[in-house]
Chain A
Amino acid sequence: MISTVEKKYDDMLSSSFIYKVTFSDNKLMFVPHNEENRHYQEILEWVANGGTIVDNGE
């Protein structure tokens, strides 16, 4: 189960970012913005259920 999602930008290529996802068992994953990725689909579901992605900007 997802606990937190943070959008992380690339310092060298600011248009590029990834989602840093922490799960309830403290497992950490880096998930690309790609609808074919099943973990990204989990993020979308988590957001639909009220989760908020932390975005501290580039």
Chain B
Amino acid sequence: MPLNTIPNKGLTSRGYSSDRIVTPLIINGDMSVAQRSTSASSVSSSGYHALDRFRFGFTDTDQLVATISQDTDVPSGQGFSNSMKFLVTTVETALDADDALQIQYRMEGQNLQNLKYGTSNAESLTLSFWVKSSVTGTYALTFKNSDDGGTKLNVNTYSISSANTWEKKIITISGDTATNIDNTNENKLEVLWALSAGSNYKGTSSSGWTSYSASKLFNGQTADIATTSSANFYLTGVQLEVGEFDSTTIPSFPFESFESNLRKCQRYYENLTANGSLNIGHAYNTTQARTYFQYRTKKRAAPTITLATAGNGDGEISFLTKGGAYVGTIGTHTALNVAIDRFNISVNSGTYSSTGWVAGDAVFFYVNGNNYVVWEADAEL
């Protein structure tokens, strides 16, 4: 039985003919979760900036700056509340051969074994999404299988024919009977929406699954968001279905509760926002203390930890005395023993102060102010 399939008679309203619920392969396709920020301005480098799970790739761009945000502009009557908006705020003056701009959605290989890639039973996939842009033209849409034995591509195109108008796009690809998807928790299958592509990424046409070549990656792309002043690109309703579907047979969008969507996103990223005293730690000598945090959701892999700045200013973190006062030297904070389910924050003040700790003291871990992000745990692909 496919891993993303659960038998359940009576819950087949999405349009599948069989008795099953299909767990969405795309998380946050309705753009409802934006843990990092609902609006990230001055973005000029690759990374996860606003909407969870949707990454932006800035490849060798020089001047390009954008705002990426969660927006309420959505296709009418489809049930969506949010979209992801990319807005050019500083234009790329010229699209060099090595420049590219793309949206990336990355999936773990272990969640895709039901596709049966590398066998004669490899399943087709159908990607459906709603898109709207101020820039008309042809856009490349590429699937990338990062198999340990060699990367494969499946390059497609779609057109945006009317500026500033929501359009639904459906793209079907065949299964790859030649190359499997590695069964790991790493990025093994990626969907790439090209927004701009320099000449290095075009020029070689391909059909179906093909070995990686940079000149194939975004072949066919003519639209150019990066060099267009104030250009925008909206995306929502991203769904990936196992099987071949068209505009009349595509199952309805797999809406989930916000809580379910959030919990799935937190496998890859979560943060802690707090007010004032937020945890208890212990001092193990006069200059050192530590505390312990457990994530709400186990991570895909040991995550990268980012801490708020140490200090006593707004939004800054520190360990207080057992009486709740600042110590003489707040010290340097370090995240340690980072695992998929928890980590420590340790401080070394370096200098004993009479207003400091005694070994064995229980101490407050504190953030000065309300609603500041204390830490982020990032296990994204």
Could you tell me which A residues sit within 8 Å of B by CB distance? 8, 10-13, 16, 18, 20, 27-32, 34, 36-39
Contact = CB atoms under 8 A, between A and B. Distances in A.
A34 to B, nearest CB: 4
15 contacts: A12-B290, A16-B337, A18-B334, A29-B305, A30-B304, A31-B304, A32-B303, A32-B338, A32-B339, A34-B301, A36-B300, A37-B302, A37-B304, A38-B304, A38-B380
Nearest to B285: A11
Contact of A30 (B288, B335, B348): B335
B303 A18 contact: no
A39 B304 contact: yes
Interface in B243-299: 284, 288, 290
B162 interface: no
Given A36-B185, A37-B301, A18 B338 contact: yes
Given A11-B288, A37-B302, 9 more contacts: A10-B337, A11-B348, A16-B337, A18-B335, A27-B306, A30-B306, A31-B304, A32-B304, A32-B339
Contacts of B307: 28, 30
A12 B284 contact: yes
Nearest to B44: A25
A37 B379 contact: yes
B186 interface: yes
Interface string B361-381: 000000000000000001111
A45 to B, nearest CB: 13
B315 to A, nearest CB: 15
